[in-house]
Amino acid sequence: MRPPPTKPEELPQSWTQRLQALRNVPPLLKLVWQTSPGLCLATLVLRLVASFVPLAMLWIPKLIIDLVVRAIRHQPIDNVLIWKLLALELALAVLSDALSRFTSLVDSLLGDKFTNHVSVRLMEHANSLDLVSFEDPVFYDKLERARRQTTARLGMLATLAGMTQQFITLLTMISAVVFYAPWLLVLLIASTIPVFLGETHFALLNYSILFRYTPERRELDYLRYLGASNASAKEVKIFGLGGYLIRRAQLLFDRFYDENKALAMRRALHGLFLGLIPTGAYYGAYAYIITRALAATISVGDLTLMVGAFSRARTIMESLFSNLANVSEQALFIKDLFDFFDSKPAIVSLPDALPAPRPIRHGFDFQNVSFSYPDSDRKVLDGVSFRFEPAERIALVGENGAGKTTLVKLLARLYDPTEGRILLDDVDLREYSVDDLRHEIGVIFQDYMRYDMLASENIGVGRIENVEEEQRIIRSAEKSLAAGVVDSLPQKYQQMLGRRFEGGTDLSTGQWQKVALARAYMRDAQILILDEPTASLDARAEFEVYQRFVDLTAGKMAILISHRFSTVRMADRIFVLADGQIVEQGNHQQLVALGGRYAELFEMQAAGYR
């Protein structure tokens, strides 16, 4: 088990840093406005009107009470006016309820649209980032925190809108209090500041816990997945992993709970004592107002108005300070969202990028290419140089970690070299349009995806712009030998694959591989790359797939990565990689005759069949 997380230095500590987090609020409001200007305007208008209702609901009863008191004292009054005021108060009550309901409706619609808008923005931005980003745990922590903002921050939007409404209402209430006793305003503000400071302090501590535990929360999500997933169920049961996974998850649950419990208890106790300050201030002001009423310096209606206005102003001010502390806490989380949006891809097309050549005339030229992952000194590839000619089939051979898949990813410009350069038709690969270049490459990696989609869609995603072309999909399936798999399904190409959705059918590993291969053929690219695509096929099926591969790649460039020498011998040239370098190259016969690493590996594998 990993040790308890340490406190990162980048967590905000000072009040200046806490207030700086509020700078994330305007960009959020801009994002909300972009979601739906009409709904934003509607909620603002509704709240603006609603903010004046509370004072009116206090002022009208004051007038009614003063009229009633004058009538009791047998002073002349307009009796009809009392009933008119009562009718007006009723109308305001109905209006207040209608405004509340319509505001809730608009906020709900705006919240749904905001969630959808931010979710799409997250997907779009993630799609623009480099593959190397998705292989970085720190990036995943940032992505995980950003994903949570799509729904977790909806409450903040309602809080911000409510604060605007409360602030306007507070101004109206304060105007009533100041009119009778200006010094009560100072008392009101002074009594609520300690509550605000306390709430802000604990809000920061709460964010600190969530920030520090992001990796552990990802681990917990993974443990949940392992403990209740079709993909892991077999091994979990065979190896008896259920109890271990449960215990490990329980330890994480307990760690989160213990720290949250300690913080919650401290927050409750501090809040209890700090809450005594505004409570004492309120009742002190209450006593002062009653004293003035007893001295007949204000009317009974004035007494009702002042008590109601001061009480409401105190409640609103406490709520505003509390919400401000909450918003400052939420703003720290919003920073995670915008930090993710601010991350930029390193692999982008230049403004004047060239289209990929079609046809390719001179091929690829790797010139002293090296590659290292960010924050790593180890070179996955080290000074690799070779040419890859048009219409040539090459094979990459080597032990795991030798750099075979990395080399392919560089060719497809999923990575850029850290040293050296790669030319295509004598032009640096970085000068071509990224999308256009990848359009000319069909690749199936050994960790290919199994999409929980229709069979036709599983194949069609290989060339997404043609995903609706049934005949092209069928031809691709025939080329990869997946047609027989699809024809055996109850609904053929309209059959849902995978177990995630109702009616879905799972395939064997070998069947999934044939479907994945169909994607590569669907692409109809100039360069076809197969990275260990037949590892789960039996010998006959593997022979059929590779024989078909040889036939279908005639006149095309093809790269084959495999540990099976019975297949790589079909290549025109074979490159043997070790420790990130090409140590041997030639065809099968030449390499066997050389008696080097290839011959040694070939002999070891051949001995297993004797």
d(CA 226, CA 191): 52
CATH superfamily of 25-342: ABC transporter type 1, transmembrane domain (1.20.1560.10)
d(CA 605, CA 428): 39
Which of 273-282, 292-301, 334-343, 369-378 is the most confident on average?
369-378
Closest residue by Cα to residue 272 from 194, 162, 385: 194
Location of structure tokens 């297949």: 567
pLDDT the model gives residue 336? 72
CA distances from 108 to 40, 112, 150, 245, 449 (A): 11, 6, 14, 39, 36
In this prediction, residues 37-48 reach a mean pLDDT of 89
Q: What is the pLDDT of residues 395-454, one digit of tens each?
A: 898 888 788 888 988 998 888 899 999 999 999 999 999 888 888 888 887 777 888 888
Closest residue by Cα to residue 204 from 212, 215, 216: 212
Prediction pTM value: 0.63
More confident residue, 153 or 570: 570
Q: What is the DSSP string of 469-499?
A: -HHHHHHHHHHHT-HHHHHTSTTGGGPBBSS
In this prediction, residues 132-146 reach a mean pLDDT of 69
Encoding tokens for residue 215? 């990796």
Query: Among 80-94, 169-183, 489-503, whose mean pLDDT is lowest?
Result: 169-183
More confident residue, 576 or 550: 576
pLDDT the model gives residue 488? 92
Given a cut of 60, whether residue 234 has pLDDT beyond it is no
Given a cut of 60, whether residue 608 has pLDDT beyond it is no
Q: Please check whether residue 271 is in contact with residue 192, taking contact to mean a CB–CB distance below 8 angstroms.
A: no
d(CA 340, CA 142): 6
- Dihedral (CA of 68, 69, 72, 73) sign: negative
Closest residue by Cα to residue 281 from 256, 246, 326, 313: 313
Beta strands at 427-428 and 379-388: parallel, antiparallel or unpaired: unpaired
pLDDT the model gives residue 500? 77
The angle at the Cα of 55, spanning 51 to 59, to the nearest 5 degrees, equals 155
Given a cut of 50, whether residue 183 has pLDDT beyond it is yes
In this prediction, residues 310-330 reach a mean pLDDT of 70
Each domain of the chain, given as residue ranges in start order, spans 25-342, 449-524
| Beta sheet of 527-531, edge-to-edge order | 441-444, 527-531, 557-561, 393-397, 573-578, 581-586
d(CA 169, CA 517): 65
Given a cut of 70, whether residue 238 has pLDDT beyond it is no
* Averaged pLDDT of the chain: 78
In this prediction, residues 333-356 reach a mean pLDDT of 81
Distance of CA 389 to the CA centre of its chain: 41
pLDDT the model gives residue 219? 74
Q: What is the pLDDT of residues 455-511, one digit of tens each?
A: 998 888 888 888 888 999 999 898 888 898 999 999 999 998 888 778 888 888 778
Percent of the chain clearing pLDDT 90 (strictly above): 10
385: left (phi over 0), alpha (psi -120 to 50) or beta: beta
pLDDT the model gives residue 421? 93
More confident residue, 232 or 163: 163
**Which residue spans within 319-416 are E strands per DSSP?**
364-372, 379-388, 393-397
φ/ψ of 530, rounded to 5, equals: -120, 110
pLDDT the model gives residue 366? 93
Encoding tokens for residue 284? 């002190």
Q: What is the pLDDT of residues 15-24, one digit of tens each?
A: 565 566 677 7
In this prediction, residues 151-171 reach a mean pLDDT of 73
**What's the pLDDT band for 3 if we cut at 50, 70, 90?**
very low
Given a cut of 80, whether residue 99 has pLDDT beyond it is yes
Given a cut of 50, whether residue 603 has pLDDT beyond it is yes
Encoding tokens for residue 259? 């720290």
In this prediction, residues 172-201 reach a mean pLDDT of 66
pLDDT the model gives residue 4? 41
Q: What is the pLDDT of residues 537-557, one digit of tens each?
A: 666 666 676 777 777 777 788
**What's the pLDDT band for 345 if we cut at 50, 70, 90?**
confident
**What's the pLDDT band for 178 if we cut at 50, 70, 90?**
low
d(CA 458, CA 514): 11
In this prediction, residues 201-206 reach a mean pLDDT of 65
d(CA 199, CA 126): 35
What one-letter code names the amino acid at 93?
A
Which of 260-264, 340-344, 368-372 is the most confident on average?
368-372
Q: Could you give the 3-state DSSP secondary structure of residue 48?
A: helix
Given a cut of 50, whether residue 71 has pLDDT beyond it is yes
Given a cut of 50, whether residue 7 has pLDDT beyond it is no
In this prediction, residues 259-287 reach a mean pLDDT of 70
Given a cut of 90, whether residue 187 has pLDDT beyond it is no
In this prediction, residues 516-523 reach a mean pLDDT of 84
